[in-house]
């Protein structure tokens, strides 16, 4: 038996989610970091890993300051 269209319409959620650009950039950065983490560990020397860690620290500080 098919559900009534009125019942289904009541279950639909509106697509009104809006993220600020900073949150979007942080999410994309986190995603890319996960994708390329293995590549960085294998392909680059420790010196470049230190630079990546500095960027990560800067990102964390930025997120913390934006949450306040």
Q: What is the pTM assigned to this prediction?
A: 0.38
Answer with the residue of higher pLDDT: 20 or 12: 20
Q: Is the pLDDT at 3 greater than 60, yes or no? A: no
Q: Is 13 left (phi over 0), alpha (psi -120 to 50) or beta?
A: beta
Enumerate the domain spans of the chain: 18-67
Burial 4-26 (b: 16+ CB within 10 A, else e): eeeeeeeeeeeeeeeeeeeeeeb
Per-residue confidence band for 30, with pLDDT thresholds at 50, 70 and 90:
confident
Structure tokens at 60: 């964390």
Asked if pLDDT for residue 42 goes beyond 80, the answer is no
């Amino acid at each position: 038996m098919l559900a009534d269209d009125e019942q289904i319409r009541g279950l639909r959620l509106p697509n009104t989610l809006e993220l600020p650009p900073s949150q979007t950039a942080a999410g994309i950065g986190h995603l890319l970091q996960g994708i390329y983490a293995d590549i960085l560990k294998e392909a680059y020397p420790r010196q470049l890993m230190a630079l990546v860690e500095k960027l990560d620290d800067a990102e964390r500080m930025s997120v913390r300051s934006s949450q306040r």
